[in-house]
Amino acid sequence: MADERTLVLCKPDAVARGLVGEVVGRLERKGFRLVAMELRTLDEATAKQHYGEHEGKPFFGDLVSFITSGPLVALCVEGPDAVSAVRTLMGPTNPIAAPPGSIRASMSLTPGSLGSSTTTWKPSIPPIARTRFTSPFGTVAGASTSIFAPAGLT
């Protein structure tokens, strides 16, 4: 298996509840290498771009409102088959349906308790994961532009 890099977001509820260290620790114990990490509050335009595939869906506004409601931590992690492995470790979006031991089953609130609160965001499929993953950290992640990074970081 080739090493991949992917984006993991610890959403505002994870930051507010002090769970970022636990999420990072779980990723590192799984064997992922932490390539970059940034604490940031997303503006509405960035959030809409990040969730662009959901535009027009009934929950789009709630996604944007929630992800911009406070600071989040964006992580770039690297490891073998990272996209698939991170998806498995995170578990499905609904924490009630998530398997025991997954991050969402262990740490997420009930669905809808904080807008679209699921504690973490995971990549959906490798092409989307690569696109989104290249955005937060510019050249650290192998991209020349960044929707998250401040000027001069890319």
pTM greater than the 0.85 cutoff: no
Q: CB–CB of 92/104 below 8 Å? A: yes
Convert the pLDDT of each residue in 7-44 to its tens digit: 888 888 889 989 899 999 999 999 999 988 989 898 89
Region for 67 from its dihedrals, namely left if φ exceeds 0, alpha if ψ lies in -120 to 50, beta otherwise: alpha
Report angle CA 122, 37, 103 to the nearest 5 degrees: 35
Question: Cβ-count burial of 150 within 10 angstroms (0-12 exposed, 13-18 middle, 19+ buried)?
Answer: exposed
Convert the pLDDT of each residue in 113-148 to its tens digit: 333 344 445 454 444 444 444 444 554 444 322 333
Could you give the domains of the chain? 3-141 (3.30.70.141)
